[in-house]
Amino acid sequence: MRKASSMSSAAPVINRHFLNKEESFMYDREANFPMEDTRNEARIEFTEKGMQHLSSRRCEIIKLSRSSALIGILTQFQLPQNFYLDIPSARIPLIGCLLRRVHANNIIEARFLRLLSERDLNRIFVYSTHPNHRNRTLDIYR
């Protein structure tokens, strides 16, 4: 019977198993809202190189729910992990977002830091150029 050497020079191996995943109660256990097709021009704003300067990139919102969005943007540049989403047509400024996934076809998935209200969601759909939202109107009394 051999004794395991306690002075091993190799770093410990961490098994990549799905049960070892860290869980975030804020995002992993939150109910997913249904995504709805839309087509809105938007902008992402983020800081580069520490806090040196604010960068802005144009993008298009492809699908949207109260808690997340699919955004079409060129993914050749280094995307930040957290950024602000600005939708100027609907006059909704600076929605805090976290980057969830980057797809190869220039689409990213973003998770909002707070849920969008139904009023904001309706306002975005009113200004959408998607055919499904052609007859939406803005309720100014709410």
Q: Is residue 25 part of a domain?
A: no
- Asked if residue 8 is part of any domain, the answer here is no
- Taking 90 as the threshold, does the pLDDT of residue 71 lie above it? yes
Domain range holding 76?
31-133
Question: For 72-81, what is each residue's pLDDT tens digit?
Answer: 988 787 888 8
Asked whether residue 79 is domain-assigned, the answer is yes
| Percent share of the chain, pLDDT over 90 | 20
Domain count, the chain: 1
Separation of first and last alpha carbons in the chain: 77
In a domain, 122, yes or no: yes
Asked if residues 20 and 14 have their Cβ atoms less than 8 Å apart, the reply is yes
Residues 6+ apart with CB under 8 A from 45: 54, 55, 56, 83, 84, 86, 94
Q: Is residue 141 part of a domain?
A: no
Q: Flag whether 89 is in a domain.
A: yes
Average pLDDT, the chain: 78
Q: Is 126 inside any structural domain?
A: yes
Q: Read off the CATH number of the domain in which 106 is found.
A: 2.40.10.220
Q: Is the pLDDT of residue 23 over 80?
A: no
Q: What is the pLDDT of residue 30?
A: 60
In a domain, 53, yes or no: yes
